[in-house]
Chains A and B, each alone.
Chain A
Amino acid sequence: MSAAARTEPSPPPSPASPSRARAFVRDYLSFNNRYLPPFLITCILLAGQVQYGFLESFTRTLLAIAAAVALELALSRTIVGKWPHLASAYITGISVGILLRSPAFWPYVMCAWISIASKYAIRWRGRHLYNPSNLGVSVMFFLAPGVAAPLSVQWGNTIWPMVVVWIVGSLIIWRLRRFHVCATYAASFVGLSFVRHLLTGEPWLAQVAPITGPMYQLFIFFMITDPPTTVRSRKGRMLVAFLVALVEMFLRLDRVVVAPFYALFLVGPPALAVDLWLRDRRAKPEAKPAPAAA
């Protein structure tokens, strides 16, 4: 579910290749590389677990990661014919392990597998349309409410962990050039919370409360910003972020507990499909040979 961590093809090496040392720095020590989001989410998980006992145990999260990685290896090898980069599968697994709460083990395996399988099953014009872990957890919440629930913990009882995660997350997302997505969504959520407050008569702070928890921070920093499943233009991404918040508002008015996941599930793929279609339409005339050349 993460920015920059997906298995999109790497850019071809530039004719003026950097030195080996520079390449090493770029690949492994640079602030902006594909390992950064997995590293960040791992840090969040470890800090949350050590300090606040986020997880009942590491077992379930490790199980989700192992299931995601195993299926990614199998499918990539058999369908694409090559070994995949595992950052994507790792981040899907860890996301499932954090966002899904269940007393049983099987939901973690199934959720990870559904997430990974969706990347190979639901494709259009060469792209997978759904954010894998968002689809996985949405399926679990919808079809297995008896054993699957969303993350419900908080960042302790002080404000500092929350502030630190917001600042660090924002800096990283800024670096990854997706901050405008987070900002648009957060601002829309807060604004629409006020609309919900007006419509329901319930306290505004209650309506805005969810965004102060870790679940939303993970959702904002790692899910709605996911490059492979977001549209190309900056304005388009901002529009989609707003639409996710808008659909979420309607779901919340219908008292749906897991509204953000369902909202992204409903808005993200159609938006991407439209974007791909529009891009294709624009590209086709350019691709046609010029009459003069014929």
Chain B
Amino acid sequence: MRMDPGRIGAIVLFVGLVAAVPILDGGTPVVGGRAARSRPSGAPSPAAAGARADARARYGLKLVDVTAESGIDFVHSAPRLDPKLDHIMPQIASMGAGVSAVDFDRDGWLDLYVVNSGEGSLNRLYRNDRDGAFEDVAASMGVADLNRPGTGVSMGTVWADYDGDGYEDMFLYKWGKSELYRNDAGKGFVRATDALGLPAWMNVGCAVWTDFDRDGEVDLFLGGYWPDDLDLWRLKSTRMMPESFEYAKNGGGNRMFRNKGDGTFEDVTAAVGLDSTRWTLCASAADLRGTGYPDLFVANDYGVSEFFANDGGKRFREIGKSTGVGQAPKSGMNVAFGDVFNDGRFSVYVTNISEEGVLIQGNNLWVPKEGTSGDELKYENLADSMGVELGGWSFGAMFGDLNNDGAQDLVLTNGYVSASRDASYWYDYSIIAGGHGAIIGDAKNWPAMKGASLSGHQQKKVWLNDGAGRFSEVAQAVGYDDLHDGRAVVLADLWNRGALDLVVANQRGPLLVYKNEVDPANGWIGFDLKGRAPNTSAIGAEVRLYWDGRVQLQQVSGGMSYSAQSPRRLHFGLGKAAKVDRAVIRWPSGSERTIEAPEPGRVHKVEES
């Protein structure tokens, strides 16, 4: 039988195309295509270990786990919720594990506050002893025993000087009864929750301090996760899950509490138009449209992100769709702002879920389009082209110049439920998650987890920015190689050395401190801003640093990244540049100050006049 040449050509073409697919995929196909049994991510390979030895020479940094030497022995515990959720408890009780870096006693050294989530478990306040060690002083300061049964459990903290006394106060957000603690001159904390007027119970997923109306007082935004009135320990019904995997609006309500300046707050949520009820996991505030007022970027689980444009401090408008960030629904878990191109504008990094062959949402790096601002602001997602799209089941992520080369790098932690290495829950998750709201919304319809993992044991990401639009992943090589279920990431110069160290809070795992042995050949400069009272924290202040033909924007944040708050002190890497042209500070009030040729290699303390 003769076959015509055209047919032979078609066969050759077909075979060639099929053969090219695994090559383009860059890996070996998973047998059966059942990505639910994803490629194991075990211990670092010998090659990675070898690479780590010269990581500093090659990448400009090396991360060394100094947790034990630091005297930190915190291990996060998860809550045990209503027994009706026992069959899926690991995924329901999977949040929390937050950490904040704050100088609570104003001694010039950053301390760490870490939250626990087991009923009766203790939170820790690690005071920096300046000699490499930390000491837990939470009990003596009155902020340890904050997970008492019946009060809910901690998810995270955000810090700001809300009363203008110069000390950072603490808002602890919980699934349950959140708390506000006033810092008593670094000597202790005094409960001030009643001043807030919080609802009796609220399942808060995130919180942000921001002076949204620019009256000089920092206000407090809360993002709700579970419905407000849901007591996860005493369920009336199992119909408490999201009504949809991607369009759910039956989550907790958002709240905005305006600081009245007399030590009390008022709930202005409805008045300012923030009464959304999506499943919020992270939010952050920054002047993204160039209006002078901080906008709110909100990452929602089971839905689209929201962009609340601040109209002169009077009202917020949700413009997510028109900016492009609110089009495709995903599982938003993180918001981080970073000037990735050194062009004086913030890009926004939102983390989502990616699991081989099952669900590839991809993380989003929303980069503002050239020439757009104000209400015409448009973003495009460049996560794929810049190499920061796939991060597994991603949680906290944070920008910072890890190698002081002058470009903002990105650290991401991930992993949802690490249990059995041989059993995956992904198949079960995929069938229920694709179902209609009538099915997915009822916990009793969810298959039992039976000790299976769900995107567990995942390798973390350290993406180094080459400054030209491309990130390279080097986590294993530089030493961020644990496989815990990471939640919160903080980048902070813990020992005032001019290097950003890495602190990671892990769910059902240890708090890890990685000391950054940065290449000393690269320069750096820091700014410690003190705003005019009452916002002495200078929340919302921006610094534009001009050097070597570049300009980089950073801001003092009142809460950024999942369950985390990085320090108020701003750290800039300078690369090989010997000098800085100038630093332009824009205070929250709108006034500006320019510092000509600030000296590199030290932290500049600047006070608003």
Could you list which residues of chain A lie within 8 angstroms of chain B, going by C-beta atoms?
52-53, 55-57, 75, 78-80, 101-104, 106-107, 110, 113-114, 117-118, 120-123, 138-150, 152-159, 162, 200, 202-203, 205-210, 212-213, 215, 252, 254-258, 262
Shortest beta-carbon distance from A158 to chain B in Å: 7
B596 at interface by CB-CB < 8 Å: no
Question: Could you tell me the distance between the alpha carbons of A246 and B424 in the complex, rounded to whole angstroms?
Answer: 24
Shortest beta-carbon distance from A103 to chain B in Å: 4
Partner of A257, one of B244, B245, B358: B358
Given A79-B7, A143-B29, A154-B244, answer yes or no on A257-B36 (Cβ-Cβ < 8 Å). Answer: yes
Contact A206 B447 (CB under 8 A): yes
Partner of B328, one of A56, A102, A146, A155: A56
5 nearest A-B pairs in the assembled complex, by CB-CB distance: A209-B435, A145-B357, A79-B6, A120-B10, A121-B14
Q: Which residues of A contact B437 (CB under 8 A)?
A: 154, 157-159
Question: Could you tell me the distance between the alpha carbons of A152 and B244 in the complex, rounded to whole angstroms?
Answer: 11
Given A143-B21, A145-B35, A149-B358, answer yes or no on A120-B7 (Cβ-Cβ < 8 Å). Answer: yes
Given A118-B14, A143-B21, A152-B245, answer yes or no on A52-B436 (Cβ-Cβ < 8 Å). Answer: no
Contact A202 B17 (CB under 8 A): no
Q: Which residues of A contact B435 (CB under 8 A)?
A: 154, 205-206, 208-210, 212-213
Q: Which residues of B contact A75 (CB under 8 A)?
A: 10, 13
Question: Could you tell me the distance between the alpha carbons of A148 and B357 in the complex, rounded to whole angstroms?
Answer: 6
Q: Which residues of B contact A148 (CB under 8 A)?
A: 25, 357, 360
Taking CB as reference atom, which chain B residue is nearest A258?
B33
Shortest beta-carbon distance from B85 to chain A in Å: 14
Q: Which residues of A contact B433 (CB under 8 A)?
A: 152
B275 at interface by CB-CB < 8 Å: no
B607 at interface by CB-CB < 8 Å: no
Taking CB as reference atom, which chain A residue is nearest B384?
A103
Interface centre among B37, B304, B427 (most CB of A within 10 A): B427
Contact B247 A203 (CB under 8 A): no
Question: Could you tell me the distance between the alpha carbons of A200 and B4 in the complex, rounded to whole angstroms?
Answer: 51
Contact B358 A110 (CB under 8 A): no
B532 at interface by CB-CB < 8 Å: no
Contact A149 B328 (CB under 8 A): no
Q: Which residues of B contact A121 (CB under 8 A)?
A: 7, 10-11, 13-15
Interface centre among B248, B356, B435 (most CB of A within 10 A): B435
Contact A205 B439 (CB under 8 A): yes
Interface centre among B4, B32, B356, B428 (most CB of A within 10 A): B32
Question: Could you tell me the distance between the alpha carbons of A141 and B430 in the complex, rounded to whole angstroms?
Answer: 15
B519 at interface by CB-CB < 8 Å: no
Q: How many residues of B contact A (CB 8 A)?
A: 72
Ordered by A's residue number, 22 sampled pairs between the chains whose C-beta atoms are within 8 Å are A52-B329, A53-B304, A56-B362, A110-B20, A114-B18, A123-B7, A139-B18, A145-B29, A149-B358, A149-B359, A159-B437, A205-B442, A206-B432, A206-B446, A208-B435, A209-B435, A210-B435, A255-B37, A255-B424, A256-B33, A257-B357, A257-B358
Given A79-B9, A153-B246, answer yes or no on A145-B33 (Cβ-Cβ < 8 Å). Answer: yes
Taking CB as reference atom, which chain A residue is nearest B4?
A79
Given A121-B14, A159-B438, answer yes or no on A203-B25 (Cβ-Cβ < 8 Å). Answer: no
Q: Which residues of B contact A139 (CB under 8 A)?
A: 18, 21
Q: Which residues of A contact B29 (CB under 8 A)?
A: 142-145
Contact A79 B249 (CB under 8 A): no
Given A152-B359, A157-B248, answer yes or no on A207-B34 (Cβ-Cβ < 8 Å). Answer: no
Contact B17 A257 (CB under 8 A): no
Q: Which residues of B contact A159 (CB under 8 A)?
A: 436-438
Interface centre among B26, B328, B438 (most CB of A within 10 A): B328
Given A53-B304, A147-B360, answer yes or no on A103-B383 (Cβ-Cβ < 8 Å). Answer: yes
Taking CB as reference atom, which chain B residue is nearest A261?
B33
Q: Which residues of A contact B22 (CB under 8 A)?
A: 143-144
Contact A205 B445 (CB under 8 A): yes
Could you list which residues of chain B lie within 8 angstroms of chain A, going by C-beta atoms?
4, 6-7, 9-11, 13-15, 17-18, 20-22, 24-27, 29-30, 32-37, 243-250, 304, 327-329, 354-360, 362, 381, 383-384, 389-390, 424, 426-428, 430-440, 442, 444-448
Question: Could you tell me the distance between the alpha carbons of A121 and B435 in the complex, rounded to whole angstroms?
Answer: 37
Question: Could you tell me the distance between the alpha carbons of A49 and B496 in the complex, rounded to whole angstroms?
Answer: 50
Contact A202 B447 (CB under 8 A): yes
Question: Could you tell me the distance between the alpha carbons of A283 and B245 in the complex, rounded to whole angstroms?
Answer: 53
Contact B329 A143 (CB under 8 A): no
Shortest beta-carbon distance from A242 to chain B in Å: 21
Taking CB as reference atom, which chain A residue is nearest B33?
A142
Q: Which residues of A contact B448 (CB under 8 A)?
A: 202
- With A78-B9, A145-B33, A152-B246 already in contact, 14 other A-B pairs whose C-beta atoms are closer than 8 Å: A52-B247, A53-B328, A55-B328, A79-B6, A103-B384, A103-B390, A114-B14, A117-B10, A120-B6, A146-B25, A147-B25, A152-B359, A152-B430, A256-B33
Contact A262 B384 (CB under 8 A): no
Q: Which residues of B contact A104 (CB under 8 A)?
A: 384
Shortest beta-carbon distance from B334 to chain A in Å: 17
Q: Which residues of B contact A80 (CB under 8 A)?
A: 6
Interface centre among B14, B358, B428, B432 (most CB of A within 10 A): B14
Contact A257 B447 (CB under 8 A): no
Partner of B360, one of A102, A142, A157: A102
Given A114-B14, A144-B24, A203-B446, answer yes or no on A258-B432 (Cβ-Cβ < 8 Å). Answer: no
Shortest beta-carbon distance from B10 to chain A in Å: 4
Contact A203 B444 (CB under 8 A): yes
Partner of A145, one of B7, B24, B25, B243: B25
Contact A122 B244 (CB under 8 A): no
Shortest beta-carbon distance from B6 to chain A in Å: 3
Q: Which residues of B contact A155 (CB under 8 A)?
A: 436
Taking CB as reference atom, which chain B residue is nearest A207?
B431
Q: Which residues of A contact B304 (CB under 8 A)?
A: 53
Question: Could you tell me the distance between the alpha carbons of A122 and B446 in the complex, rounded to whole angstroms?
Answer: 41
Question: Could you tell me the distance between the alpha carbons of A220 and B282 in the complex, rounded to whole angstroms?
Answer: 38
Q: Which residues of A contact B20 (CB under 8 A)?
A: 110
Question: Could you tell me the distance between the alpha carbons of A83 and B358 in the complex, rounded to whole angstroms?
Answer: 38
Contact B247 A157 (CB under 8 A): yes
Taking CB as reference atom, which chain A residue is nearest B324?
A57
Q: Which residues of B contact A154 (CB under 8 A)?
A: 244-247, 434-437
Question: Could you tell me the distance between the alpha carbons of A89 and B278 in the complex, rounded to whole angstroms?
Answer: 40
Q: Which residues of B contact A102 (CB under 8 A)?
A: 360
Given A78-B6, A110-B17, A145-B30, answer yes or no on A206-B25 (Cβ-Cβ < 8 Å). Answer: no
Given A145-B30, A154-B245, answer yes or no on A209-B25 (Cβ-Cβ < 8 Å). Answer: no
Contact A143 B25 (CB under 8 A): yes
Contact A141 B33 (CB under 8 A): yes
Shortest beta-carbon distance from B364 to chain A in Å: 9
Interface centre among A53, A114, A140, A157 (most CB of B within 10 A): A157
Question: Could you tell me the distance between the alpha carbons of A144 and B362 in the complex, rounded to whole angstroms?
Answer: 15
Question: Could you tell me the distance between the alpha carbons of A122 and B11 in the complex, rounded to whole angstroms?
Answer: 7
Shortest beta-carbon distance from B302 to chain A in Å: 9
